[in-house]
Amino acid sequence: MKKQGFNPFLPSWEYIPDGEPHIFDGRIYLYGSHDKFNGYVYCMNDYVCWSASPNDLSDWKYEGIIYKKTDDPCNKDGSMNLYAPDVTRGADGKYYLYYVLDKTDIVSVAVCNSPAGKYEFLGNVHYSDGTLLAKKEGDLPQFDPAVLTEGEKTYLYSGQCWLGDKSKKGSIAVTLSSDMLTILEGPFFIAAGDCYSEGTGFEGHEFFEASSIRKKDDTYYFIYSSVKLNELCYATSKHPLKDFVYGGVIISNTDMNIDSYKSATKPMNNNGNNHGSIIEINGKWYIFYHRHTNGKDFCRQACMEPIEIKEDTSIQQVEMTSFGANGSPLSAHGEYPAYIACNFFCMEEEPEVWDENPKGKFPRRNQRIPYVSQDGKDGDEETGFVTNINNNCGIGFKYFECKALKKVTIKTRGYNRGFFEVRTSWDGEPLGVIKIESSNIWKEFSANIAIPDGKQALYFVYKGTGSATLGAFSFDAQ
């Protein structure tokens, strides 16, 4: 890499959730929905694309807008938003974009001659008699389509099944013909929702949404978000349309289930939805996922982590990290922006509360937990920071390769008075403290704090009045 990579791997002012990475013609293209900074609902912006060389995951190029919400003929006024898409290359060499608008339940398709060019509306997925998928008696509403093309056939996966929703059985799959629109086979149920999971093996991690499909050797991997929302799970099969067996959790954007540095039930961020997929890049596998920012559900950012797929097809859950795209701990030298924090937490545990919304159950946010934000408005290229750092709350960065570090400097602002404890574990003994003072501009504060050599996490826990904001931190061997 020309420089170190970290999470989020796109600029801090870009909000691309629901990431579907694909390699076309030797380059990685990231497709996803497009949140608006400080937006009030999901996916308020048009589809854009980012790309990178497989040889440098730290350097992503903005490809521009590839499809506007008003490009769909039933959305000329732009009143509907573009939900999570996927892209595949058809047998004819063209690229096909599959999506669902937020107030419809049908799958729409756009086409382009290049991976990141201007896509044009093609049509809607339908049966051979012309009936749209989702409109035939017994069909389920479509949501979060995923596609995989093999030869002349394309497999389409879709669905959404809220916790407690008895009207939907789970995820479905169909086979499409080479015209990329007409259904040849299906629908088939491949993963159960929570009301129909007994005896399926999916119990406790039932299908919610975020369908994605990949293939490694002779095994199909169905990646999805479970009813717990924060986790991306997987199921495997030797057949694209049946016999999927639950495999486990790949990642949680709260690090639930991880017990390597905390208890398995301790969340290290607010619970919120997740969506992503796996991809092989230069012989290594990665999971792409998203995190939530700005203290809301509607400003999500793309992250990635290296994973290992074992010979028995299993994938062990991995931690959220700050180094992500780097593939290894970051060098503990120089200054780092605070927005690469991967843990956001309060020391005191609070019970998780789930509220009812018109569709189903959704977790209530803990308003005391710190979060990433930025100055300016959506589209302004403003570097992110971490704010809402309240008394006895903190943020964490994983991991750094440390050597002979004797001093830590932080850059803060805000009306507050207190200090940050510096730790190498979230609940460990402080290595030292950095006192801060109230300021409405960024100011630096330092302390002589020795950090042990080797691979270390770094945690800042605030103690004091008011609410602190952290913009950056740096290490020094002096």
Q: Which position among 18, 35, 71, 255 bears the catalytic label?
A: 18
Task: Tell me whether residue 209 is one of the annotated catalytic residues.
Answer: yes
Residue corresponding to tokens 């004797």: 406
Please, what's the b/e burial string for 375-387 (b: 16 or more CB within 10 A of its CB; e: otherwise)? eeeeeeeeebbbb
Residue type, 46: D
Strands 300-307 and 95-99: unpaired
Conformational region of residue 217, where left means phi above 0, alpha means psi within -120 to 50, and beta covers everything else: left
**Spatial contact of 274 and 232, defined as CB atoms under 8 Å apart:** yes
E strand map for 161-206? 170-176, 183-192
- In terms of Cβ atoms closer than 10 Å to its own Cβ (0-12, 13-18, 19+), residue 351 is exposed
Q: Which position among 46, 194, 209, 319 bears the catalytic label?
A: 209
Strands 146-150 and 120-124: unpaired
Q: How far apart are CA 68 and CA 470, in angstroms?
A: 36
Q: How far apart are CA 238 and CA 217, in angstroms?
A: 10
Give the distance from CA 460 to its chain's centroid. Answer: 24
Closest C-alpha to 297, from 362, 344, 238? 362
- The tokens for 204 are 């406790």
Residue corresponding to tokens 């199909």: 220
Q: What are phi and psi of 313, to 5 degrees?
A: 80, 0
Local structure of residue 129 (DSSP, 8 states): T
- In terms of Cβ atoms closer than 10 Å to its own Cβ (0-12, 13-18, 19+), residue 403 is middle
Residue type, 33: S
Closest C-alpha to 321, from 252, 418, 412, 228? 252
> Can you give 232-268 as a three-state secondary structure string?
EEEEEECECCECCEEEEEEEECCCCCCCCCCCCCCCC
Task: Tell me whether residue 59 is one of the annotated catalytic residues.
Answer: no
Where in the sequence numbering do the catalytic residues fall? 18, 209
